[in-house]
Chains A and B, each alone.
Chain A
Amino acid sequence: MNALRSLVLKPWIWSFVATVIVWLITIMFTGGASAAGLSQAAFTFAAFSVIVGIGQMFVITLGPGNIDLSVPAMITLSGTVTLKLMGVDNALILPGLAIAIGLGVAVGIGNYAFIKLLRIPPIIATLSMSFIVQSMAIWTNRGIRIKPPALLADFTTSTLWGVPNVALVAFVLSVIAWVLLQKTVYGRWISAIGQSIPAARMAGIPVDGVRFATYVLCAVLASICGYMLASFSGGAALNMGSEYLLMSIAVVVIGGTAVAGGDSNVPGIWGASLFLFLVVSMLNTYGLGAGIRLVMTGVIIIAVIMVASGRKRGRA
């Protein structure tokens, strides 16, 4: 009973509860036929949201006003540039990954330079950055679709013991993120900054250094996501990142991370990512029109957030 109560108090539990409900409803509708397939697809697509969402979560944890809107452009740029550089050469897979990380570092530095040197709010700074990055992607791509190296395409689309490889990668990155947040000095620092910048500064925390590192981390994760997503879908497209703008923020919020900052939550990102994919699949299964589907998605997301935040208010 006590264990159950402490479970109910976890902020991430609600996204998992919602996920299980939606999964059951969908399976019931199809008569249990597609249980394995649906689950695999859910984990595959959730993996990409998880990777981007973790980066966004670190940034949102920095406190009110902190957000990275350059994420979709970063995904697109990383996908187009790395596939172009790798050609279809299997030998260039690892250098391609290194380039993806390098691109992420560069964009992260650019983001924080805008925020710090030009003193513009992060929401504007990263949005401006996303235009620059998107233009670079258009300039690199020129409408040519290049296939990923065969080995990388195989890796991203296959499974290990029934679990999609991309989900395993996302899981490893999540564990690293969780350790970083919960166990290290850096994790304490970003939580402190998210609660109060003046207090963090006067406690001796290098506020600028930590914020800078966090924006770089977010861009790098988005870049890795772009690299994998382009390989998974057999080539980069200029709109491949666009759905991840809302997605990266939605998974953070539904996952129980405090929008006001200071309190982050890695498990919730998984619940939220799976949930968002399954909601769309469920509505698809029912064969609803596109308009109704979008409306329903919005209503369901709002409902989950209200349930989760109502619980918090009750406790306080």
Chain B
Amino acid sequence: MSLRPAPVRRWPSFQPGEAVKQIMTGSSHLVPVVEAQGVKVSFGAVRALAGVDLVIRPGECVGLVGHNGAGKSTIVNVINGGLSPHEGTIAYEGEAPGRHGIASARNHGVRCVFQELSLCPNLTVIENMRVMHRALNGWNWRSKAVAAITGKLGEIFPGHRIDCSRAVGDLSIAERQMVEIATAFADVGQKPKLVILDEPTSSLDASLAEQLLAHVRTYVVGGGSIIFISHILGEVLSTATRIVVMKDGRVVADRAAGEFTQAKLVQAMGSVVAEKKDARAARVLKSTAPILSLPPRGGRGMPFEAFSGEIVGLAGLSGHGQTDTLVDLFHSHSGNWLQRSNPAVAFVAGDRGYNGTFPLWSILKNMSIASLGDVSRATFVDSGHEAELGEQWKRKIEIRTQDMDNGILSLSGGNQQKVLFARALAVRAPVVLMDDPMRGVDIGTKQEVYGILRSEAEKGRTFIWYSTEMEEVCICDRVYVFNAGAIVAELTGSDISEDNILAASFTEAVASKAVIGGSIA
């Protein structure tokens, strides 16, 4: 299986500077709220931003779209001061780039509503206002905070029923999101000039989402700026004045919103593979009984099935039920009270720190833990046999260490991941579940592992592979696309392409949004 790097397709008519000029003609007298130039950020070997230019002017709502890992959150974090760019500059309100940081960004009126809710759950709504707004001080800060937050909540979400003296933890997730949004827009001592909304509607229902979008539009007309990130493309198209498409840490399109349609956006987000991949015959596997199956999750969508010798991909936007499906599969096929003598499933963790490594142990113990039954006699671990197994896998998967007795944390992240792979592959289980296991793994290791997966699959093993990387999903024999916790599409053989997967990931969301659009129009 050879993998060619996906060619980065630029938006046809896009020339750097041209889009900027286009906008400049209308509002050239306005000083940009934020101007990012040539911003580059890397996390270890992973390049998150590869030179991004982004200008935000007063009175515009910039829609920021792109699939997971395109760099949207990273650029937003650079703008709000949470991350410092390794190269390039950030200038607020036309000032020369100076001290960069959260405080400086806030002083220039940059506010952020995060995708992961960032309120303190044990404090009340009012107390959270105080945390966000330093200006709320003095003996009557509570009444000032009440006035500010209730005013703003009423303005954005008329008819809301949130009691501001309640602890945030007692509110529903939608109410928390509403409070967070109102807190960001609140005008206490200093007007917000740029509000960054990172997936603000993901936990709001349709009518609340429309209230928010309406508020965004009036706010922008009043001269404020918004950066709007959403995976619901209809929202972006209807709200943004300009849309910036990111892919692989670069801006690949930056044009007025009117020039985009939904189809064009999806196309711009994914790299269109120039030629068909080596046509892999959709293998005829369905004749036999499935080796694993699950009914539709929560009674919605399609059921899950996996057949012997297959690599099944789980795709879709992150956090839409893929990991839960893997965990369900594992739990329903392994004993919590007694270990089965013949394990049915093995698991490769993606979140190493949470459910992968045992930090106190050596590499060897970490590797052998799942197959202790095979290296022990009458419950006594045979250390010679164990060491042999370790050496065998060290050679096979090239774990880079002098001594398998070194601590697991002495290895780099990628090598720890290889140990977790070895742990799962050493188990005799016919099915291996993989929870996005290639996070932070370098390209060389990936190629090694892909090769092992392919050869093991040919021997009859089944792999169920959740990945957030398009190229990996495209190696699979069959792909289930998830949305909102349910399987919404099944792709096989040559239908597995970035375009189809992206389109399928939005199916449900787009469909439900279309209804709302209709009711409003």
Contact = CB atoms under 8 A, between A and B. Distances in A.
A206 interface: yes
Determine the interface band of chain B, counting residues with CB < 8 A from chain A.
Answer: 20 to 34
B339 A205 contact: yes
Interface stretch (A101-109, A153-161, A196-204): A196-204
Interface string A188-231: 10011001101111111111110010000000000000000000
Interface stretch (A15-23, A35-43, A178-186, A268-276): A178-186
Given A206-B338, A209-B336, A192 B381 contact: no
Contact of A204 (B346, B376, B381): B346
Given A195-B361, A196-B355, A204-B339, A183 B423 contact: no
Contacts of A185: 372-373, 376, 379-381
A171 to B, nearest CB: 21
A212 B360 CA distance: 23
A259 to B, nearest CB: 13
A262 B366 CA distance: 13
Given A184-B380, A188-B372, A212-B337, A202 B349 contact: yes
Contacts of A200: 358
A68 interface: no
A206 B339 contact: yes
B335 A206 contact: yes
A203 B336 contact: no
Given A183-B380, A188-B369, A199 B354 contact: yes
A196 B376 CA distance: 23
B358 A195 contact: yes
A203 B370 contact: yes
Contacts of A186: 379
A241 to B, nearest CB: 30
A126 to B, nearest CB: 20
Contacts of B358: 191-192, 195-196, 199-200, 262
Given A196-B355, A202-B330, A209 B372 contact: no
A204 B365 contact: no
A215 to B, nearest CB: 14
A203 B380 CA distance: 19
A205 B336 CA distance: 7
Given A188-B365, A207-B336, A263 B360 contact: yes
Nearest to B368: A188
Interface residues of A, number: 25
A61 B359 CA distance: 14
A199 to B, nearest CB: 5
B427 A199 contact: no
B343 A204 contact: yes
Contacts of B338: 206, 209
B339 to A, nearest CB: 5
A200 B357 CA distance: 9
A258 to B, nearest CB: 8
B347 interface: yes
Nearest to B373: A185
Interface string B164-182: 0000000000000000000
A202 B355 CA distance: 7
B267 interface: no
A273 to B, nearest CB: 25
Contacts of B343: 204
Given A185-B372, A195-B359, A202-B355, A208 B349 contact: no
Contacts of A203: 347, 369-370, 423
Task: Pick from A183, A200, A202, A258 the residue with the most CB of B within 10 Å.
Answer: A202
B178 to A, nearest CB: 32
A207 B337 CA distance: 7
A207 B370 CA distance: 13
B334 interface: yes
Nearest to B386: A188
Contacts of B380: 183-185
B336 A201 contact: yes
| Pairs A-B, 6 closest by C-beta atoms | A198-B355, A209-B337, A195-B358, A202-B347, A208-B336, A203-B370
10 contacts: A183-B380, A183-B381, A192-B361, A199-B354, A199-B357, A202-B355, A204-B339, A206-B336, A206-B339, A209-B335
Given A204-B427, A209-B336, 10 more contacts: A184-B381, A192-B369, A198-B354, A200-B358, A201-B355, A202-B330, A202-B355, A206-B336, A212-B337, A262-B360
